[in-house]
Structure 1
Amino acid sequence: MKLYTVLIISLILSACGGGESGSSTEDVSTIVSQTPTTSTPPPEKTPTETSGETETMADLTIAPEFDLSSKTELSVDVDLNMGDSRAYLNICLKGDDNKADYNQCLLRAPLKQSKLTSTVMLANSALELVAEVWFYDSQNEPLRFYWQHEEGQSAVFTIR
């Protein structure tokens, strides 16, 4: 068995060869033609103007109030003044049809006495939300409320 293995390996290695093929005695001649060249001076380098732009990460300055966070805390305040009506709240990202995208919901909770107070962490990409209030005893469409993030405003979703 060893003999066959050694024989097969040596055949494979010798079949690969050393890279040279045959004895080639071709003469390769190269014809070089010289064309007259005119020398032109290199273009003058103009100094680049520095406009005070940031060049490295160490040069960056960030205002102290900017916390580099990619999340925002959203306060949710619901008070529908509907008494003991049993209802359920979904807060989701807004879908293409201006309805809630149920695959991207941020809060799902029952309302107690038609009220709810909660907080939700939002990614900065969640700029438009839809809140849908579904009533247990009704087959009607849900009540829809819309919220859109506005820069500089406190993140509060008030549903009345």
Structure 2
Amino acid sequence: MKQLICLVSVSLITACGGGGGSEQPVSKAPAVVETPPADTQEQGVAALNVPTQFDFKTDFTVTVNVAANLVNERAFINICEADAALTNADTCFVRSPLTDNGLEMSFTLPHQGQKVKASIWFYDTSRAPLNYEWQFNSSQSEQVWRIN
């Protein structure tokens, strides 16, 4: 058995090359670096073909008209994101006192998919708030929300 192991070991050593001989230095061919051809097509935003009147803005202005005499006592109006769980400064676009003279004002929404809600809160806590919803109307050139 020992002889068999020795024979196999010697065969492996001689099969792998082993031994010396004269070593000749291996010369490496110089690396060839090709520069890519200049790209004549524009990339990024410059590649877009956009009409000159398009301004890339997604925000738009909404004019709110709250009818006079909608409320006949002191109240407060919040206009906030429709899906917001809480009514606070982070989710509201308008927070303003409201009187029987009504209200007319404008505010900016960040994009056309935005839905908003208005809640009119009364200082008299025995009255329930009045709630309204509004969404962008693409058929209108100016976005107007009439609350009456």
Q: Report TM bin, short chain.
A: 0.5 to 0.7
| Structure 2 unaligned blocks of 5 or more | 1-12, 18-40
Identity %: 28
Q: 116, 135, 140: which one pairs with 1:148?
A: 135
Correspondence for 1:106: 93
**Cα distance, 1:126–1:28 mapped onto 2, change above 3 Å:** farther
- State the partner residue of 1:131: 118
What residue identity is the alignment partner of 1:113? D
What SS does the aligned partner of 1:81 have?
coil
SS at match of 2:66: strand
Q: Distance in 1 between matches of 2:111 and 2:74?
A: 32
Number of residue pairs the alignment of both structures matches: 110
* TM-score normalised by structure 2 residue count: 0.60
Question: Structure 1: how far apart are the matches of 2:94 and 2:66?
Answer: 13
1:71 aligns with 2:91: no
Structure 1 runs of 4+ aligned residues shifted over 3 Å read 54-59, 100-103
- Residue 157 (structure 1) aligned with residue 126 (structure 2): no
Distance 1:91 1:123 in 2: 14
1:67-94 alpha-carbon deviations (Å, 9 max, x no partner): 2112111111111524641111000001
Q: CA deviation at 1:121?
A: 1.1
The alignment's C-alpha RMSD in Å is 3.0
1:118 to 69, 81, 105: 105
Listed as ranges, the gaps of 5+ residues in structure 1 are 1-25, 31-53
